[in-house]
Amino acid sequence: MDDPLLMAARAVRENAHAPYSGFKVGAALRSVTGNRHVGCNVENVAYPEGTCAEAGAIAAMIAAGDTRIAEIAVIADSPEPVTPCGGCRQKIAEFADGDVPVTMATTSGKILRATVSELLPGAFDTGHMDRA
């Protein structure tokens, strides 16, 4: 696994706070400016209050002053590559064009690639809010 984003996602995954599920996830994205931002899942005993790895990476990107995603990678220790949850797909779509690549991987090396549009066809966007 020599993909720099996957390597960054793998490394940050180790910092995940997952004492309830034991399911650690890491995410790394590259912004259009070339900066790399990472995030890991952070569980909370009040389960809905946790944060997904992808959301953490996006928050880090915004906090650093970047606003657009050029590519993103997600990794977890699972039998098959894990896709971002529905909420994270929408979060990614907020900051990425539809053709932005999403790489999903397992810690054992299985890889699945898709675009944002393939993961979230019909994404809700600002066009849905136009009131003509």
CATH number of domain containing 14? 3.40.140.10
Whether the full predicted model's pTM is greater than 0.85, yes or no, is yes
**Does some domain include residue 111?**
yes
pLDDT of 21 above 80: yes
Average pLDDT over residues 6-22: 97
**Does some domain include residue 127?**
no
71 noted as active-site residue: no
**Does some domain include residue 22?**
yes
pLDDT of 31 above 70: yes
Q: Structurally, how many domains does the chain consist of?
A: 1
Which range marks the domain in which residue 12 is found?
4-122
**Does some domain include residue 129?**
no
**Does some domain include residue 71?**
yes
| 40, containing H or E segment | strand 36-40
Average pLDDT over residues 51-60: 98
**Does some domain include residue 128?**
no
User: Is 20 within any annotated ligand binding site?
Assistant: no
Which position among 54, 71, 94, 118 bears the catalytic label? 54
Distance of CA 23 to the CA centre of its chain: 15
